[in-house]
A and B are shown apart, each in its own frame.
Chain A
Amino acid sequence: MTEPLLTIENLILALPQGADRPHAVDDVSLSVAANEIVCLVGESGSGKSMIAHTILGLLPAKVRVESGAVRFGGRDLLALPAAEMRALRGSDIAMIFQEPQTALNPLKRVGAQVAEAIRTHDPAAGREATSLRVRELFEQVGLPDPRTLVSAYPFQLSGGQRQRVMIAMALANNPSLLIADEPTTALDVTTQRQILDLIRSLQAARGMGVLFITHDIGVVADIADRVVVLRRGRVVEQGPARTVLNQPREDYTRQLLDAVPGRGTLRRAKEDAEPLLEIRGLQKTFITRQGFFSPPRRVVAAEALDLRLHRGETLAVVGESGSGKSTLARMVLRLIEADDGDILFAGQSVRAMGREALRQFRRCAQIVFQDPYASLDPRRKVGESISFGPMAHGVPRAEAERLARQWLERVGLTSQAADRFPHEFSGGQRQRICIARALALEPSLLIADEAVSALDVSVQAQILALLAELKEEMNLSMLFITHDLRVAREIADTIVVMRAGKIVEQNGAEALFAAPRSDYARSLLAAVPGKDFFERASARPAASMPASGAQSG
Chain B
Amino acid sequence: MRDLVRTFFRRPAGIVGLVLLGLVCLMAALAPVLYPASPWEMTGVPFSRPGENGMLLGADTLGRDVASGVVHGARVSLLIGIASALAASCIGVLLGCIAGYAGGLVDMAIVRFTELFQTIPTFVLAILLVAILTPSLATIILAIALVSWPPLARLTRAQVMSIMRREFVQAARCQGQSTLSIVTRHVLPNAISPIIVAGSLTVAAAILIEAALSFMGLGDPNFMSWGYMIGAGRTVIRQAWWMSVFPGLAILLTVVAINLVGEALNDALNPRISRA
Interface residues in chain A, defined as those with a beta carbon under 8 Å from any beta carbon in chain B: 330, 333, 335, 359-360, 362-363, 365-367, 369, 371, 374-380, 385, 388-389, 392-393, 434, 437-438, 441
Contact = CB atoms under 8 A, between A and B. Distances in A.
Contact of A359 (B168, B171, B176): B176
B112 interface: no
Interface string B17-59: 0000000000000000000000000000000000000000000
B195 to A, nearest CB: 14
A31 B185 CA distance: 53
A434 B176 contact: no
> What DSSP secondary structure best describes chain B's contact surface?
helix
A110 B176 CA distance: 46
Contacts of A365: 174
Given A380-B185, A388-B181, A375 B168 contact: yes
B170 A335 contact: yes
Given A374-B167, A375-B167, A377-B190, A366 B172 contact: no
Contact of B173 (A335, A375, A441): A335
Contact of B167 (A359, A369, A380, A438): A369
26 contacts: A335-B173, A362-B174, A362-B175, A365-B174, A366-B174, A367-B170, A367-B171, A369-B167, A369-B171, A374-B167, A375-B167, A375-B168, A376-B168, A377-B168, A377-B189, A377-B190, A378-B190, A388-B172, A388-B177, A388-B181, A388-B185, A389-B175, A392-B175, A392-B177, A392-B178, A441-B175
Contacts of A335: 170, 173-174
Interface in B185-210: 185-186, 189-190
Please list the 6 inter-chain residue pairs (A to B) with the smallest Cβ-Cβ separation, ordered nearest first: A389-B175, A375-B167, A392-B177, A377-B168, A392-B176, A369-B167
- Centre residue among B168, B178, B186, B190 by max chain A CB count within 10 A: B168
Contacts of B172: 377, 388
Contacts of A434: 171
B238 interface: no
Nearest to A366: B174
Contacts of A330: 170
A375 B174 CA distance: 12
A388 B174 CA distance: 11
Nearest to A379: B189
Q: Which of B171, B172, B173, B177: most chain A CB closer than 10 A?
A: B171
Contacts of B272: none
Interface in B152-189: 166-168, 170-178, 181, 185-186, 189
A385 B178 contact: no
Given A380-B185, A392-B181, A362 B173 contact: yes
Nearest to A378: B190
B171 A375 contact: yes
B174 A377 contact: no
Interface in B111-163: none
Given A363-B175, A369-B170, 13 more contacts: A330-B170, A360-B176, A369-B171, A374-B166, A374-B167, A374-B168, A375-B167, A375-B168, A375-B170, A377-B168, A377-B172, A388-B185, A392-B176
A57 to B, nearest CB: 21
B190 A371 contact: no
